[in-house]
């Protein structure tokens, strides 16, 4: 009888456990590191899991983290530089793997000043797991 009660208590405990509030693909905390020699104003990040404005980022500096439902190794980033909009351009997210539940940094730089193009890469290792 004691074994039956113990089994019922364990089964009830397992069934009462709640799922995590996060999905495996996210959320992901994202920040920008400006590795150019220009100030990025009004930085906007689109990870396909949301769009967020991360503010201004000085040369060599990091933005604050923005939380996105999901993020990938690529993202669409735009910023105003000397009054003109620069962008990485639209991203096709099909086939890309989620970064998961982490804090991560995109390093962003000006790849073509005349055509107002930015480029980016994910900094590895990732910053940290989510809190």
- Whole-number pLDDT of residue 23: 59
At 46-71, the pLDDT tens digits run 999 889 999 999 999 999 999 999 99
Share of the chain above pLDDT 70, in %: 85
pTM metric for this prediction: 0.78
Tokens in use for 22? Answer: 């996060």
**Strand ranges (E), 9-127:** 28-34, 40-46, 51-57, 66-68, 76-81, 84-87, 102-112, 117-122
Measured CA angle at 60 (ends 59, 66), to 5 deg = 95
């Amino acid at each position: 009888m004691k074994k039956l009660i113990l089994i019922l208590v364990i089964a009830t405990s397992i069934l009462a456990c709640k799922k995590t509030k996060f999905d495996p693909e996210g959320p992901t905390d994202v920040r920008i590191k400006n590795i150019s020699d220009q100030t990025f104003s009004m930085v906007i990040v689109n990870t396909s899991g949301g769009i967020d404005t991360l503010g201004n980022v000085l040369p060599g500096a990091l933005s604050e983290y923005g939380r996105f439902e999901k993020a990938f190794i690529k993202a669409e980033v735009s910023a105003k530089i000397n009054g003109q909009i620069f962008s990485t351009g639209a991203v096709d997210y099909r086939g890309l793997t989620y970064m998961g539940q982490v804090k991560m940094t995109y390093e962003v730089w000006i790849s073509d000043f005349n055509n107002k193009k930015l480029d980016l890469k994910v900094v590895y290792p990732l910053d940290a797991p989510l809190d």
